[in-house]
C-alpha cells in the first residue's frame, strides 16, 4: 500500500497517513523518537526510497524517525492487512511442512489436483491472491493440524480443523 501524503496533527497528537481512499491515524506516542511540546516535528515527507510505503519525520532536536505503512496498518488493525498476514504466516508454515514431508513434490501436486505452477504460487509468501482454503488443503495433505482461535466480543473459542 502506498502513502499519498502524511500530515502531523498536533491537536490530536497523531500523524494523519493518507493512502488511496483511506486516512489512518498513528499517535505520536507509538513512534520513536516521540514528538512532543519541547521537541516538535520540523520536517515530514513520504519517503521515495521506501517506495512510498513509509515516511520520515525530523524533530527540532535533530532526531529522525521512520515509519513503515505496515506499522500504521497494524496499529489500526486493518482487516485487509491482517488477512494478508494470516496468509503469509500460513504460507511460511506450509513451506516448513513441505521441507519436512516425506512426500515428493509430484505427489503433493497430484493430491492437490493442481498444476506445478499453481503449487509454486501457493508456496510463494509474496503472493496474496491465494485463498486460505488452498493453504488449508495443502497443510492437510502434509498432515498439519490447523487451529483457529476466536477472541473478543464474547466469542472465546478454539476451532480445531
The pLDDT of residue 151 is 79
The pLDDT of residue 6 is 98
Give the residue, 92 or 149, on which the prediction is more confident.
92
Q: What is the pTM of this model?
A: 0.78
The pLDDT of residue 148 is 81
Q: Which pLDDT tens digit goes with each residue over 3-58?
A: 999 999 999 999 999 999 899 999 999 999 999 999 999 999 999 999 999 999 99
Name the grid cell of 85. 498476514
Closest to 31 (Cα-Cα) out of 69, 6, 59, 66: 66
Q: What CATH number has the domain spanning 79-160?
A: 1.10.260
Amino acid at each position: 500500500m502506498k502513502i499519498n501524503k502524511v500530515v502531523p496533527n498536533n491537536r490530536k497528537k497523531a500523524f494523519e497517513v493518507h493512502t488511496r481512499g483511506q486516512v489512518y491515524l498513528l499517535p505520536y506516542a507509538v513512534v520513536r523518537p516521540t514528538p512532543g511540546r519541547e521537541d516538535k516535528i520540523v520536517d515530514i515527507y513520504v519517503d521515495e526510497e521506501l517506495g512510498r510505503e513509509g515516511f520520515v519525520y525530523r524533530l527540532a532536536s535533530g532526531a529522525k524517525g521512520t515509519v513503515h505503512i505496515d506499522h500504521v496498518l497494524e496499529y489500526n488493525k486493518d482487516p485487509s492487512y491482517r488477512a494478508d498476514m494470516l496468509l503469509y504466516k500460513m504460507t511460511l508454515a506450509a513451506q516448513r511442512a513441505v521441507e519436512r514431508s516425506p512426500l515428493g513434490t509430484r505427489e503433493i501436486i497430484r493430491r492437490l489436483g493442481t498444476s506445478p505452477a499453481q503449487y509454486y504460487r501457493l508456496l510463494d509468501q509474496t503472493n496474496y491472491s491465494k485463498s486460505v482454503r488452498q493453504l488449508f488443503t495443502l497443510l492437510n495433505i502434509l498432515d498439519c493440524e490447523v487451529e483457529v482461535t476466536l477472541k473478543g466480543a464474547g466469542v472465546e473459542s478454539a476451532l480445531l480443523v
